[in-house]
Structure 1
Amino acid sequence: MPSFTEPSFTDLGVPTELTEVLAGLGITTPFPIQAATLPDSLAGRDVLGRGRTGSGKTYAFVLPVVARLARSRTPRRPGRPRALILAPTRELATQIDATLAPLATAMGLRTLTVFGGVGANPQIKGLRAGVDVLVACPGRLADHLQSGHASLDSVEITVLDEADHMADLGFLPVVRRLMDATPRDGQRMLFSATLDGGVDVLVKRFMTKPVTHHVDAAAEAPVEMAHHVLHVRHDDRFPVLVDLVAAPGRTVVFTRTKRRAKTLTRQLVAAGVPAVELHGNLAQNARNRNLSAFSDGSAQTLVATDIAARGIHVDDVALVIHADPPVEHKAYLHRSGRTARAGAQGTVITLMTDDQQGDVRDLTRKAGIKPTTTKARPGDALLATLAPGERSFTAPPAPVAAEAATPAGGTRTGRPRRGRGASRPTGAGHDQAAPATGGGRGRGQSGGQSQGGRAQTSRGAQPARGQGGGQPRARRSGGTGSTPVHTTQSGGGAAAFSAGSRVGGRRGR
């Protein structure tokens, strides 16, 4: 029987200059979505790629964009990008550009990112200087078009990434206006997990005989992902969470609201767990700083709202914890997709209280998940099985006297007035030094290549979490050499987190 050999990037038509860049990053074998779409996209056809998060879609479109622009050799013109990649969030746009940059540099192409939350002037200067590939969020790009700083009449290739998420965020009207501003004979590529929520309208309106590829079921979780539901008492939620996140390795903890993400970050820091937050109330520089701290291992716990459910690509995230079960099954799948990326192993844990049983049961059923459900208490051996390794903590920071603790009901009491000379408590918008660590450690991650949308993390010095033993990660409280990150000081205590909330409440991003 003849043996089947997986095609290489060269076999698929990727130029040698780009395959050499990929090889330098340790990427030699295409993922299925890349192998399926590259022959068509490199040939200039409109491509519709369907696949779940973490399937390798970024390289599936940046490779043909760079290769085809380098082949056409159309000169750059001020304010007129040659290719446009639209992304729903700032974080995703930034990470697409990080994946794109080394490939573009190898071919002599210039890239630029455009999104809100930061000053417009550097973006305007970059557009005036001329750009080959523009990676943009729809809102800020529309502003630049309206003010005359950019035109899309020279765009040869347009890519919509996470199109279904753009629909969820209400971006479709502005996306349609942007697409209308691009030449109708240009190549269009659209990548999405699903075709609902109006995405099918974009396909019918802007794509010409698209070649459709879907290599996995968008509504299914990867087989590499283990799902667990821990049935806990209200008062045990926080101690159980602390036990899990204090183990070695990177963890993403999801909450439903911005306020709870902020509060829970405070509580974890107070408990001796270096943590950073990510939600819509943070300024862009604070988001960048916190993501950098999470990526480089300075803080190995990221507490986030659903803003991080898409587009956050950090290697070796082996544990995702739903501290608040999400409202929709799609959110569950996208949140969970922060682990088990690119064929790696991962664990997903949902903390469930008595009043959430019905909601969680419906949620997992709709997501096509059959989790292992276990009653859990602090100190149970199961926690060490799900998150192996020796627990370690830093000394908690000094409490902030100017701000009273938040009780279980969420209402602050006894907060004194600040005079002109009073010190301001540390909170959102104020920086502090977080404990530095010796770098990230994987939890039972499989070997092999990683194609995440950021600089690759060396795994050679990262003992697998599943192996147990070894030295615990060193955590230092501030001091010389610590990494400045944006987080919040202690406040609230476990009671505020243990108060909990039902699955169906309001969400904040």
Structure 2
Amino acid sequence: MSSSSFADLGVPANLAAILAGLDITVPTPIQAATLPDSLAGRDVLGRGRTGSGKSYAFLLPLVARLDAQRRTPRSKAPRALILAPTRELVNQLLEALKPLAAAAGLSTQTVFGGVGQNPQVAGLRKGVDIVVACPGRLEDLIQQGHCNLGDVEVTILDEADHMADLGFLPAVRRLLKQTPPKGQRLLFSATLDNAIDTLVKQFLHDPVTHEADSAQSPVAKMSHHVLHLDREHRVPVLVDLASAPGRTVIFTRTKHGAKALARQLNKNGVPSVDLHGNLSQNARTRNMDAFHSGKATTLVATDVAARGIHVDDVALVVHADPPAEHKAYLHRSGRTARAGAEGTVVTLMTSDQVGDVRALTRAAGIKPTTTRINGSAHPILIELAPGERSAPGGLVIESGGSAMASGGSPKKSGGGGGRNRRRTGGGAGGGASANASGGARSGGGRSRSGSGSASTSGGGNSGQRRSGGGRRTGAGAGSSGGNGGGSHSAASFSSGRR
């Protein structure tokens, strides 16, 4: 089904005007497919790939219905509930919801853990139209008597398959049982499986199912590559890719790995932040703000960020550790090529991972281009991440995990400053500097010398530099030798607990 405008689908004029003001005028396939039924009040089960526009597919009918009812919410009894698996997704949904809710005069409240509950309790006590919540904290507040779901007219589950993956299903069932059985229920997910079927059969009434694209959903404008390399070359390759222009998201298997790799990148002058479950909510918020604003150009994350997190213009997604299963691959990869943009997905693969990666990509329904590389000198890296490499200086990662201050541009002087720059991540010079081996930087570090990330390549690339177009003119950086931390650094981000 296709339509030329939101108005044609039945979206109220005031909400369509809000979207137009955001330069959103053409419905995506999942929106075009589901909006007529959801606006008519039917239960809907919608499946669309990550980045397909599912949020507006359920926010628009939600706001339209509450606006039409014109009922004042009672204290502690919200009129609508949106459940999402992560704090970041809750906040992201709120940002999308705010202008629509304001146009309809509706109030909103987020509910999630990791922060004090008093502001949430106060908001619920005042009376709120729409609650956007993570299941755990919402259950806590209900048990304390601060909230009840008896007035909920519309219940929405976003990223329902992720809820199942994270073990939220029992809590979700308990919460849904507390909502009126005749209320409207909308369930949206990137994949549909047996866990989702359980919820559908128990809680949705005569639902309409819409699948807007293939369940195996690599986007047409997303190119997939596998780089077959030795373990000791992983960090130099990641430094090279992340120092290209544009935003990069790198995924690791463990929380410890994300933290360690973010520090490695900052040490090599690439401003980076991490995102994982060990961070406090304040640290997670600050790090995401740094990535959104461009203060950090690279986000290193565990699968907590694989679903639902949207940042505009992510040009490159790198699986530093291949994910365990194909659904995680598709969701991770969905951080790029969103809303019609193009994107590149790269998976790093060591020899002992060949079988697993082949099975993974086959299950995901993709046929990646595989390239065997030896170090960070291979021309494929420029093809995957075009442009002149830059190491403007890392960010300070505080003990709490948040990035607070930039380390500034790399210094041009000799290697003695390398140690002093460790805390501030002052560029790619750590250890022996580029100048010590005959290289040079120009433009305040915007043109990288052949030593590239000197802490990963030693001094073996004397005198080399990139040409203005970002193409290599010599052997490149990081192809050999002296990584003051060497194989330990390369392996450090794939160890630890998830």
TM-score normalised per structure 1? 0.81
Residues 33 and 216 from structure 1, CA distance in 2 versus in 1: closer, same or farther, beyond 3 angstroms? same
The answer to which of 77-86 and 211-220 deviates more is 211-220
Q: Which moved more, 1:20-29 or 1:212-221?
A: 212-221
Q: In terms of mean alpha carbon deviation, does 360-369 or 38-47 score higher? A: 360-369
Contact 2:272 2:394 in 1 (8 A): no
Give 1:134's aligned amino acid. V
Query: What secondary structure sits across from 1:212 in the alignment?
Result: strand
Q: Is contact 1:87–1:137 with CA below 8 Å preserved after alignment?
A: yes
Matched residue SS, 1:113 = strand
1:158 pairs with one of 155, 158, 170: 155
Sort the Cα spacing of 1:111 and 1:474 in 2 relative to 1 into closer, same or farther, 3 A.
Answer: farther
**2:166 matches 1:174:** no
- Could you tell me which amino acid in structure 1 is paired with residue 26 of structure 2? T
**Of residues 366, 374, 378 in structure 2, which corresponds to 1:369?**
366
Give the Cα separation in 2 of the matches to 1:129 and 1:472.
54
State the match for 2:390 in structure 1. 392
CA deviation map 1:376-401 (0-9, x unaligned): 23122211111011111134689xxx
The SS at the match of 2:7 is: coil
Residue 31 (structure 1) aligns with: 28
The reply on whether 1:10 has 2:2 as its aligned counterpart is: no
User: Deviation at 1:496?
Assistant: 2.8
Q: Is the 8 A contact 2:236 2:376 kept in 1?
A: yes
Distance in 2 separating the partners of 1:287 and 1:426: 12
Residue 404 of structure 2 aligns with an amino acid whose one-letter code is: Q
* Alpha-carbon distance change, 380 to 142 in structure 1, aligned in 2, over 3 angstroms: same
Return the alpha-carbon distance in structure 2 between the equivalents of residues 360 and 35 of structure 1: 35
Partner of 1:204: 201
Whether the 8 Å CA contact 1:263–1:492 is kept in 2: the answer is no
Match of 1:381 among 354, 379, 382: 379
CA distance in 2, matches of 1:473, 1:164: 44
CA contact (8 A) 1:266 1:492 kept: no
Runs of 5+ unmatched residues, structure 2: 410-442, 448-482
Deviation at 1:428, TM superposition (A): 3.3
Equivalent in 74, 78, 91 of residue 88 of structure 2? 91
Say which structure, 1 or 2, has more relative contact order (CA 8 Å, 6+ apart).
1
Gaps of 5+ in 1: 399-424, 438-470, 476-490
Task: Give the deviation of 1:132 after TM superposition.
Answer: 0.6
1:388-467 correspondence runs (5 A)? 388-395=386-393, 426-429=398-401, 432-434=404-406
Specify the alignment match of 1:140 in structure 2: 137
Deviation at 1:148, TM superposition (A): 0.5
Q: What is aligned with 1:104? A: 101
**What residue number does 1:123 align with?**
120
- Conserved in 2, the CA contact under 8 Å of 1:260 and 1:497? no
What RMSD in Å do the two structures reach over aligned CA positions? 2.3
Q: For residues 323-376 of structure 1, what are the alpha-carbon distances to aligned partners after superposition, in whole Å with 9 as ceiling and x for unaligned?
A: 111111111111111011112111000111111111111111111111000012
Query: Which residues of 2 match residues 250-265 of structure 1 at below 5 A?
Result: 250-265=247-262
- Distance, in Å, in 1 between the alignment partners of 2:91 and 2:493 is 33
Of the three residues 357, 364, 376, the one matched with 1:360 is: 357
Indicate conservation of the 8 Å contact 1:242/1:273, yes or no: yes
Q: Contact 2:142–2:148 at 8 Å: present in 1 too?
A: yes
**Letter matched to residue 50 of structure 2:** T
Distance 2:199 2:332 in 1: 25
The within-5 A match list for 1:165-244 is 165-244=162-241
Q: Aligned AA for 1:388? A: P
Q: How many angstroms apart in 2 are the aligned matches of 1:76 and 1:427?
A: 43
The verdict on how the C-alpha distance between 1:379 and 1:99 changes in structure 2, with shifts beyond 3 A counting, is same
Deviation at 1:51, TM superposition (A): 1.4
The alpha carbon displacement at 1:270 in A equals 0.4
Letter in 2 for 1:22: L
1:195 positional shift: 2.6
**1:488 alignment partner in structure 2:** none
Is contact 1:267–1:492 with CA below 8 Å preserved after alignment? no
1:496 aligns with 2:488: yes
Deviation at 1:289, TM superposition (A): 0.5
Distance in 2 separating the partners of 1:265 and 1:226? 25
- CA separation of 1:76 and 1:472: change in aligned 2, threshold 3 A: farther
Distance 2:384 2:444 in 1: 17
User: For residues 396 and 142 of structure 1, what CA distance do their matches in structure 2 show?
Assistant: 40
Q: Match of 1:261, as an amino acid?
A: A
Q: Following the alignment from structure 2 to structure 1, what is the Cα–Cα distance between the partners of residues 218 and 347?
A: 15
Distance 2:343 2:130 in 1: 34
Alignment check: 8 A CA contact 2:252 2:300 kept: yes
Q: Against the structure 1 CA distance between its residues 197 and 5, is the aligned structure 2 distance closer, same or farther, given a 3 Å change threshold?
A: closer
SS of alignment partner, residue 49 of structure 1 = strand
Rg larger for: 2
Equivalents in 2 of 1:72, 1:354: separation in Å? 61
- Work out the CA distance in 2 between the residues paired with 1:21 and 1:383: 41
Q: Are 1:349 and 2:349 matched, yes or no? A: no
Give, in whole Å, the separation in 2 of the partners of 1:55 and 1:494: 41
| Alpha-carbon distance between aligned partners in 1 of 2:41 and 2:164, rounded to the nearest angstrom | 26
- Paired amino acid for 1:268: L
Query: TM-score w.r.t. structure 2 length?
Result: 0.82
Does the CA contact (< 8 Å) of 1:297 and 1:436 recur in 2?
no
Post-superposition CA distance 1:6-30 (Å, at most 9, x none)? 3310011111111111011010000
Q: Answer yes or no: is the 8 Å Cα contact 2:317–2:336 preserved in 1.
A: yes
